[in-house]
Amino acid sequence: MSRNVRLPVVLALLAAGPAVLADESSVRLAQGEGVEQVQAACAICHSLDYIVMNSPFQDRAAWEKTVTKMVKVMGAPITAEDTAQIVGYLDRHYGKGAPPAP
Amino acid sequence: MDRRKFLLGSSSTVAAGLLLPRLSVAGAAAGGLPAGTIASSALDTLPGKRPLIRRTFRPPNFETPVELFDEAFTPNDAFYVRWHGGVPELALADWRLRVAGPAAQKPREYTHAELLRRFKRHEVAAVNQCSGNRRGLFAPHVPGVQWGYGAMGNAVWGGVRLKDVLEDAGLAPGALEVVANGADAPMLTGPDFVKSLPMWKALDPDTLLAFEMNGAPLSTWNGFPARIVAPGWTATYWIKAVVDLTVTDQPFDGFWMKTAYRVPKGMFGASGFESQDTEQNSPITSIKVNTLIVGPAPGATLAAGRHAEVMGIAWDGGSGIRRVEVSLDGGASWREAKLGRELGRYSWRQWRSDFKPKAAGTVTVLARAVARDGATQTEALVHNPAGYHHNVVQRADYHVA
């Protein structure tokens, strides 16, 4: 295993807290405008690690496509206003070229 | 619905995130995963499983560390877990299998005991591989569960032939597809995870309604009490916790058939599922020939001038493995690896290859499989939007000291 692979893994494990308590509440999203909307809407159906896992390679259009699919196909109850907030947040924190995941 | 409880990957069901440094989390072999995937993955333990690589908590998506592919059959507690929604926890006494539909002349409902009594037992050894296995290694990356190499496993599946069950329901001449539904429910108003098989595949004598894997009842994580086993086809068709079979005379048009699990038409050859082909795309069906280097783990240190042995596994969609070739010079020359015992044409086949690394430095091992139908692996990724059929020839670098 190369060092540049090992380091983020070790950091992720440390960030996850006590091993015996591991559950989806251990997933930490970046703080910023829109994070409340993301937590409220996305976590209805899935854990928030889906977001971190799918980063940082999606541009704004790709995140928009994903959120639109969640609303139109999967039935996520998200208002148009919140959709814009959510897409903006995902692009800023988990978009292409975004800073490394926390 | 009231008979079901759903397991969600919450603190009550994910017992402990045991940290075992001995097992690699991302795996050196998975160096191509997105940075976010590496950051958010960890070894974690679902009840009844040993630590697997957690990609997501809910729905639970856990893959098998490559180190655990060193056996002919993957132990049940090491077998990967993949769900699209809530995991149904069913009681065997309450479970029923319904067989009906416009092309079933004698609709039936069976208990588990009735199925065992009425139909002959059959077993098949087969690789179960998620359609998106290795998606995380796509360049450029595509959205979805970012699997490394471990969304697969090999098992002996035991149950009854799907053919026997379907024929008992009186197939009408116009029978076209068999639609399988599991007890898992969609989140909110999303589409239920339902898949169909063409009649020829459903009636194949190796296609099962399976109750067991490796001699033990299926675990809840892997589809208790019964799942479809469609050998040679990707695991999307292997519906878990199956409760309902509908024999149709029309192509099934649910979201997970019509829209998802599709590849561009012709990119990977004929689908063998004509009733689901469109002008643009086809359903993903047969597993492509592939191999995986299991040990030593890429990145390991080998002793210069000493005998070394690389071992791995190779599999395809059912023609069987003809040979595995290994190259130590970047693909200029290839030598045949020694194949292990054949365990069935849908099973993977173990292989090993000896060599003696000469000088200190780095040695790169390439491995590729050739199937009995002549197909081999690709040198460059055949990129497709959903990230399927990654069977690029694997390169493993070792340090020689």
CB-based contact A73 B36, cutoff 8 Å: no
B11 contacts A21? CB cut-off 8 A: yes
The 3 state secondary structure assigned to B77-128 is HHCCEECCCCEEECCCCCCCEEEECCCECCCEEECHHHHHHHCCEEEEEEEE
Nearest-neighbour CA in chain B from A59: distance (Å)? 11
* pLDDT in the model for residue A20: 36
User: Residue A19: is its pLDDT beyond 50?
Assistant: no
Q: Which residues of B touch A94 (CB under 8 A)?
A: 36
Contacts of A62 in chain B (CB under 8 A): 143
CATH of B91-283, one of 3.90.420.10, 3.30.365.10, 3.30.300.340, 3.20.20.70: 3.90.420.10
Relative orientation angle of helices A35-42 and A80-94, to the nearest 10 degrees = 110
The domain limits of chain B are: 5-88, 91-283, 290-400
Task: Name the residue with tokens 């009550």.
Answer: B12
pLDDT tops 50 at residue A10: no
Q: Are A46 and B56 in contact (CB under 8 A)?
A: yes
pLDDT at B8: 38
Q: Report the residue from B18, B31, B40 with minimal CB separation from A101.
A: B40
A chain contacts of residue B147, beta-carbon cutoff 8 Å: none
CA-to-CA distance for B135 and B398, rounded, in angstroms? 24
What are A47-98's pLDDT values in tens digits? Answer: 999 999 999 999 999 999 999 999 999 999 999 999 999 999 999 999 998 8
CB contact under 8 A, A16 and B16: no
Task: Tell me the nearest-neighbour CA distance from A82 into chain B, angstroms.
Answer: 18
Report the CATH number of the A30-94 domain.
1.10.760.10
Strands B335-336, B290-295: pairing is: unpaired
In this predicted model, what pLDDT tens digit does every residue of B261-295 receive, in sequence order?
A: 999 999 999 999 999 999 999 999 999 999 999 99
Proportion of chain A above pLDDT 90, given as a percent: 72
Q: What is the pLDDT of residue A102?
A: 57
Say yes or no to pLDDT of A15 above 70: no
Which of A2, A4, A5 to mutate against chain B (most B CBs within 10 Å)? Answer: A5
Give the pLDDT of residue B206: 98
Is the CATH number 3.40.718.10 carried by domain B290-400?
no
Which pLDDT value is given to residue A101?
Answer: 59
Which positions of chain B have pLDDT values less than 50?
1-30
Residue ranges of the domains in chain A? 30-94
Q: ipTM, 2 decimals?
A: 0.91
Put simply, the answer to whether B188 touches A2 (Cβ < 8 Å) is: no
Query: What pLDDT shows up at residue A14?
Result: 39
Quick: pLDDT tens for B147-176.
999 999 999 999 999 999 999 999 999 999
Confidence at A99, pLDDT banded by 50, 70, 90: confident
